[in-house]
């Protein structure tokens, strides 16, 4: 008798539990598919709320503290996030590499990177991850500007970002509107194939370059960004810009040696040749020999020839390396 009375109750409880689980899965259908990684450096103001919001969309949130000297680590460890620590500050690129290393040993369908300063909106994690989860792209980039609408981005920052966008897209032949966005999603294939070498803040540009080299598909997803009342400027804007520009110059040098060395070589040849011809003309018409003109012209021609020769050799080496990697 008692058993018969308990059985319906168990069935009801199980059914209720099933409905509750189904409702939770409907509200958060991709939580087990997404791995969220948060690189952090002195983010005590925003890291806690960012982690808690990210955990609404992912069952696994990994925070890599890059040698913070504030309360970032104590705050992060009070949550259920996995916290990995660098003994010293190595840069955002180093933190991202640590996240990728962690991801290599775990199962996931999309790795989402989001900054820990609170500028990104964690509620958009499913939107950024969606193209990757649907297997339509290997890397999705959250863009603040793809819809050409008004944003909170300060004018001076937008100008600097635009310069970096031009440098990045020009060197990689990609069509992107927000190359410096840190809100991104990656497929397991992308995590496996991307080889990152920079430890600094040029890592966003390097990921685009690497994805281009590896033949990975990229797409942008519109996102919101918050600047008002957010203490999210880890780096001085000028320092940030100069660091990324320096990295982009190296990137152009490595990807396009014929352009990088060839164009200056041709300009130097023209300059040196012009000075030399002018010196010869003056000597012929006036009898005066301008020694310094001749020396400058000669050096211009010599250095120009060296640049042209180097560009041809390095371009051939790069072509051979690309073919070998294929």
Task: Give me the DSSP letters along 207-264.
Answer: HHHHHHHTT--EEEEE--B--TT-----S-HHHHHHHHHHHHHHHHHHH-HHHHHHHH
pLDDT (tens digit per residue) in 185-227: 999 999 999 989 888 888 998 999 889 888 899 999 999 888 7
Of the two residues 229 and 44, the one the predictor is more confident about is 44
Q: Which of 178, 196, 252, 220 is nearest to 39 (CA)?
A: 196
Give φ, ψ of 218 to 5 degrees. Answer: -125, 150
Percentage of the chain lying above the pLDDT 90 cut: 51
pLDDT of the residue at 268: 94
pTM (two decimals): 0.71
Domain spans of the chain, in order of start: 29-255, 257-325
- Span 136-158, average pLDDT: 75
CA-CA distance, 252 to 169, in Å (whole number)? 11
- Residue 11: predicted pLDDT: 36
Confidence tier at 237 by pLDDT (50, 70, 90): low
CATH topology classification for 29-255: Spore Coat Polysaccharide Biosynthesis Protein SpsA; Chain A (3.90.550)
pLDDT at residue 24 greater than cutoff 50: no
Per-residue model confidence as pLDDT tens digits over 56-78: 999 999 999 999 999 999 999 99
CA distance linking residue 196 with residue 256, whole number of Å: 19
pLDDT computed for residue 308 by the predictor: 93
């Amino acid at each position: 008798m008692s058993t018969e009375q308990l059985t319906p109750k168990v069935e009801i409880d199980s059914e209720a539990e099933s409905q509750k689980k189904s409702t939770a899965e409907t509200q958060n259908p991709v939580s087990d598919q997404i791995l969220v990684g948060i690189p952090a450096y002195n983010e005590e103001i925003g890291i806690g709320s960012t982690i808690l919001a990210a955990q609404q969309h992912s069952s696994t949130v990994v925070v890599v503290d890059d040698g913070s000297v504030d309360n970032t680590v104590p705050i992060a460890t009070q949550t259920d996030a996995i916290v990995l620590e660098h003994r010293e500050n190595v840069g955002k690129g180093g933190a991202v590499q640590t996240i990728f290393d962690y991801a290599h040993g775990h199962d996931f369908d999309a790795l989402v990177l989001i900054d820990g300063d609170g500028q990104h909106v964690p509620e958009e994690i499913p939107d950024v991850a969606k193209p990757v989860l649907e297997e339509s792209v290997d890397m999705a980039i959250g863009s603040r500007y793809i819809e050409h609408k008004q944003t909170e981005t300060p004018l001076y920052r937008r100008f600097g970002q635009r310069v970096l966008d031009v440098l990045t897209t020009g060197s990689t032949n990609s069509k992107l509107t927000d190359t410096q966005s840190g809100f991104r999603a990656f497929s397991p294939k992308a995590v496996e194939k991307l080889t990152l070498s920079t430890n600094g803040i040029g890592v966003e540009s390097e990921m685009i370059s690497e994805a281009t080299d590896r033949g990975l598909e990229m797409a942008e997803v519109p996102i919101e960004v918050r600047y008002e009342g957010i203490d999210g400027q880890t780096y001085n804007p000028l320092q940030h810009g100069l660091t990324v520009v320096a990295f982009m110059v190296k990137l152009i040098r490595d990807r396009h040696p014929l352009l990088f060395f060839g164009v200056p070589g041709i300009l130097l040849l023209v300059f040196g040749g012009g000075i030399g011809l002018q010196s010869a003309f003056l000597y012929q018409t006036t009898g005066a020999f301008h020694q310094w003109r001749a020396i400058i012209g000669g050096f211009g021609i010599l250095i120009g020839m060296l640049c042209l020769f180097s560009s041809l050799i390095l371009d051939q080496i790069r072509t051979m390396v690309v073919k070998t990697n294929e």
